[in-house]
Amino acid sequence: MSALHAQTLQQKRHLIISTLLNEPSLISALLKGVSDNPRLAADAHLSAKCQLLEAACRDLHAADMADILESLPEDARQALWQLVPVERRGQILVEAADNIRESLTDGMSDKALLRAIEPLDLDDQAWLARFLSRDLTGRLLTTLKPRQRADLLNIIRNDVDGVARVMDFNFITVRGDIRLGVVQRFLRRKGKIPAGTDKLFVTDDKNTLLGELMLTDILLHNPEQQVSEVMNRDPVTFQLEDKGEDAASAFERYNLISAAVTGAGQQLIGRIAIEDIIDLVNQKNENNIRNMGGVSQEEDVFAPVTKAVRNRCAWLALNLCTAFVASRVIGLFENTIAHLVALATLMPIVAGIGGNTGNQTITMIVRALALRQVEPGNFSFLFLRELGVALINGILWGGMMGGITWLMYHDLAMGGVMMLAMILNLLLAAFMGVMIPLIMTKLKRDPAVGSSVLITAMTDTGGFFIFLGLATLFLLH
């Protein structure tokens, strides 16, 4: 994207958003519809503003429109949606986030939804079909040709996290028994190739994948050579049952731009392009960020307060429970704290450094799990390594903090307790930082979701118990 294009896009974005937010009367008028709206027809000012918005939206890419819609409160979003022609709505729905898509389609009739979806490519129709009612999906299927209907059902029936989610049907096939010169003439007559195409797929008359032919091979080899002589006979392919994350890892590892998706007997079904993998990774990262913060994937920044409260209640309840447990642990040592008030100022240090160590360990283990670096053979090494790191850090920083405590309170025993508590809490943090992700993986839960909450609860509770317990043993008696 050039700097000029980015500047123009930003200007249009600002114009659309500011116009809607500064004109409540325009929003209320647009919510009643654009065609045959007497209020818009009678009010010259509102009519001019409406035309200004239509002009600003006309040339925007579907992804840019989806981004603008996501940046608007609900009423303004619905008002702008009224200005989008039906034939453009389908592509915008494909680009929109799940929560925004639901918001936009709630007010559309079944007929309007079908009109919006029909012009889309088959892979985009399949993606949106996951969010349609069974009746509406059936009506969409009746508009398709038999082969397209079978392909769409193939995608819908497969796991939402599988490669079918990112598969498309925009690819070119050739036979292996023709010359490269024939392929060149075929491509020239065709006039265009699908976006993200770096190769053609070589199939037989039964649509069985035989190999792949790179575009560079078509250009650089002798036109008289046959396709079968230069094609790659052992390409990287995926099955419909494969996970999307596995496909993303393979694209990164093998520097792929596109790859074939095959079914039983190596029958070519579709392909995955790098642009779809990027979308998948970006959405996965966004979902992980939301999950780690305890925010629902469906939550919209402009959602009503009641919906936001409902979405966040579960995580807040869990945090409240863990905080209550930690407070009860402190309550067990009320007598110790009453006699040694200085302990109250030192407790947060022990808990805080333990939580930081635990989160560092969890980050490394979750990353290793994602990259499949954790195997039964190297588990003990990883476990002992993290404990060793925690022990050295505990001795180093615990010793330093113990010395500072001694200097501050002129109490050598208190400094020793501080040092020992930090060492033990860092060891606890490292132990739990390894075990929590592994246990969650064993239970088939995403280790990135909720691990930070659990490790914080463990290190807070454990840190308070260790520190105050040691203080009771060595400082009161």
C-alpha to C-alpha distance for 95 and 5, rounded to whole angstroms: 20
Instruction: Give the Cα separation of 75 and 28 in Å (integer).
Output: 8
Tokens 């790179």 identify what position? 214
pLDDT, tens digit, for every residue of 118-176? 888 888 888 888 788 888 888 888 888 888 888 777 777 776 678 887 888 889 999 99
| Residue 259 contacts residue 166 (beta carbons within 8 Å) | no
C-alpha span between 179 and 218 (Å, rounded) = 10
The one-digit pLDDT tens for each residue of the chain (477 residues) are 567 778 888 988 998 999 999 988 888 888 887 766 777 767 788 888 888 888 888 889 999 999 999 889 889 999 999 999 888 999 999 888 887 888 888 888 888 898 999 888 888 888 888 788 888 888 888 888 888 888 777 777 776 678 887 888 889 999 999 999 999 999 999 989 998 899 999 999 999 999 999 999 999 999 999 999 999 999 999 998 898 888 988 998 899 999 999 988 899 999 999 998 988 888 777 766 666 555 555 556 666 777 777 767 777 788 888 889 989 999 999 999 988 889 999 999 999 999 999 989 998 888 888 777 887 778 888 889 999 999 999 999 999 999 999 999 999 999 999 999 999 999 999 999 999 988 888 887 777 767 778 888 899 999 999 999 999 999 986
CA distance 55 to 376: 61
Threshold 0.75, pTM exceeds? no
CA 283 to chain centre: 3
Q: What local confidence, expressed as pLDDT, does residue 30 receive? A: 85
- Distance separating alpha carbons of residues 284 and 293, to the nearest angstrom: 14
Start-to-end Cα distance in the chain: 71
